[in-house]
Amino acid sequence: MLVILGGGGWAGDRFLTQSLASFERMALSKNEAVFDSAPGTNDAKGKEILIVPPGPVKLSPQEYATEVVEPSRPDSIVLSTPTFLFDEPTGTMLPHGRQDAPRALQRKKRPTYFVNHEVRSDNIAIFPRWTGMLSRFNKEARSLDTVCGAQTHTPCKLKAWQSFLDGLRKEPLLERLKGVNRYINTYPYVDDILNWGFDNYWETPYEFQRRSGNCKDYAIAKYMSLRALGVPADAMRVVVLKDLNLGGIIHAILVVSAGGKSYILDNQIKQVVSTDRVYHYVPIYSINENHWWQHFVLE
């Protein structure tokens, strides 16, 4: 029994606990998923969970995932989560396919949570999953020196993405952000348990190319793609945060600073959006190759 979910957040890849009203609890092991359904809801026990890519799904205003029975396989349940669209008039996120924001979702009166107090540290060694990813990436990149040259961050070093990245090199920075976000988001979402057999594995772009990944892996792939396009490390951060739209679930995105503004590149959002337009993300910490920051909400 396997689970692959399109879109979605990352909290040990158990976001269904909070995003699917139909189920009270999900226990996920290496090879199977067991659901305990709430009283009066469809019972998912013993049914195969099929694979569905992210995309348009028909949702009610308060839903963020949908359950569909596959007609050709009546013993199965298909779980799909949508890609979100940013709604400019209300400053809210909408599931892809919806044309209007629910009335209950109005622009917050407080500043965005990206306006916060942050404390910087240069000791990124306390994040071994991040530094381990950097070490593995640098090792594989160096193995390509005879083909691509000694520079670590070039489109050539990202192999399968070289042609795509070369096409963006002369574009303005914002167009590079949009192009990278759009391209990397075409990869299917795959949770760590299914991919690696354990939670919280931080993938190199090479591993992401071969196996796809979850939200943090999209963020890393975008980070390294933009490094190959000349964006400096200190202009970017992978941000780990709480997603208030999904009950505070842990999620990860890439934030890039450009022209006095900061922009979000997110596997859950189709557009590149400035941080001052997003109200449902609460940063916890952020990191790049040189530093990390702890974030505190301003009262």
Kindly state the tokens that stand for 137.
């990436």
How sure is the predictor about 298, in pLDDT bands with cuts at 50, 70 and 90?
confident
Q: Is 66 helix (H, G, I), strand (E, B) or coil?
A: strand
Determine the pLDDT at residue 28: 29
Task: Tell me 247's DSSP state.
Answer: T
Task: Give per-residue pLDDT as tens, 20-55.
Answer: 222 222 222 222 222 222 223 333 333 333 333 333
Question: What is the spatial order of strands in the sheet that 281-287 belongs to?
Answer: 116-121, 292-297, 281-287, 236-243, 249-258, 261-265, 273-274
pTM here? Answer: 0.68
- Evaluate if residue 246 carries a pLDDT over 60: yes
- Evaluate if residue 194 carries a pLDDT over 60: yes
Q: How far apart are CA 134 and CA 289, in angstroms?
A: 8
How sure is the predictor about 109, in pLDDT bands with cuts at 50, 70 and 90?
low
Residue with tokens 């040259």: 149
Nearest residue to 205 via CA among 164, 262, 260: 164
Task: Give per-residue pLDDT as tens, 128-138.
Answer: 999 999 999 99
Q: Return the percent helix, strand and coil in the chain, to nearest 5.
A: 30, 25, 45
Q: Tell me the CB-side half-sphere exposure of residue 61, using CA atoms within 13 A.
A: 8
Determine the pLDDT at residue 114: 93
Q: How far apart are CA 11 and CA 68, in angstroms?
A: 24
Length of the chain counted residue by residue: 299
Task: Give per-residue pLDDT as tens, 114-150.
Answer: 999 999 999 999 999 999 999 999 999 999 999 999 9
* Phi/psi of residue 261, nearest 5 degrees: -125, 165
Determine the pLDDT at residue 241: 97
Domains delineated in the chain? 16-85 (no CATH), 116-297 (3.10.620.30)
Q: Do 119 and 88 contact (CB within 8 A), yes or no?
A: no
- Evaluate if residue 272 carries a pLDDT over 80: yes
- Evaluate if residue 276 carries a pLDDT over 70: yes
Task: Give per-residue pLDDT as tens, 1-16.
Answer: 233 333 444 443 333 3
Determine the pLDDT at residue 25: 27
